[in-house]
Amino acid sequence: MENESGLKEIRGRAVVVGLTGGIGAGKTTVLKMLGELGAQTFSADDFVHELYRRPDIMQMLKQRFGADSIGVDGEVDRRVLLRKVGQQPDGLKWLESVVNPQVTAERIRLMETASPGTVVAIESPLLIEGGFQRGYDLVVTIEASFGVRQKRLAARYDDKSMQVLEKRRLTTGQRIAAADMHFNNDAGISELQYFARMVYERALAMAGKSAGDKG
């Protein structure tokens, strides 16, 4: 069924927005904006952070990558972990085999429990690379030039860590070609806010609603 805008309407469940893009391009910022607009949100990255705090996961990481993958604060040192992952031919594949099934289970749970007619926004860094587009109603990618992204992430990741993270990624053009909407986030925050509202309003239209609807 199509509404007056020509968009396909979704009845009987939530509209699911898949948010992806380049590392450091601004996905998390857009996710927060969508949450402020009224979407229910889920960040795969935040969920992985929580997984890394679980004693069983920490022990697995320690056994695989060494005791120095755990920082002096007792938490996983992500910079060290990524460097260690990059030193092993199958390191990234092993790490993904540990965290991805749990991320997927939580994502599915959220999709299935969200109220019909609402918008759910899910940030997933490897959404397109993993071929998961079909599980989403609207796929959005946030992009930025490599130099801009590198500066934004300088405090979190060194160059080697960035290289590990970039290994599995498609090019900007490939992500854009696979997405329904995209934004180049080399500009200011106001442009990004405007784009986030466009995404939210398009998702609402797919739900047969408008921004002014309460129920």
CATH of residue 22's domain is 3.40.50.300
Q: Which two tokens stand for residue 17?
A: 């927005």
Q: Is residue 197 part of a domain?
A: yes
Q: Any bridge partners for residue 140, and if so which?
A: 19, 181
Q: Is residue 8 part of a domain?
A: no
Per-residue tens of pLDDT for the chain, all 215 residues: 344 433 455 557 899 999 999 888 999 999 999 999 999 999 998 999 999 999 999 999 999 999 999 999 999 998 899 889 988 989 988 998 999 899 889 988 988 899 988 999 999 888 998 888 888 999 999 999 888 888 887 777 777 777 777 777 888 899 999 999 999 998 789 999 999 999 999 999 998 866 656 55
Q: Is residue 121 part of a domain?
A: yes
- Structural domain including 40 reads 15-45+103-206
Q: Is residue 182 part of a domain?
A: yes
Q: Is residue 82 part of a domain?
A: no
Q: Is residue 119 part of a domain?
A: yes
Residues 6+ apart with CB under 8 A from 199: 17, 30, 34, 138, 140, 181
Q: Is residue 178 part of a domain?
A: yes
pLDDT of 146 reads 83
Provide DSSP, 158-208.
Answer: -HHHHHHHHTTPPPHHHHHHH-SEEEETTS-HHHHHHHHHHHHHHHHHHTT
CB atoms within 10 A of CB 141: 26
The domain tally of the chain equals 1
Q: What is the pTM of this model?
A: 0.82
User: Which position has the token pair 């997984």?
Assistant: 51
Q: Is residue 3 part of a domain?
A: no
User: Which position has the token pair 């007792």?
Assistant: 74
CA nearest neighbour of 178 among 212, 132, 146: 132
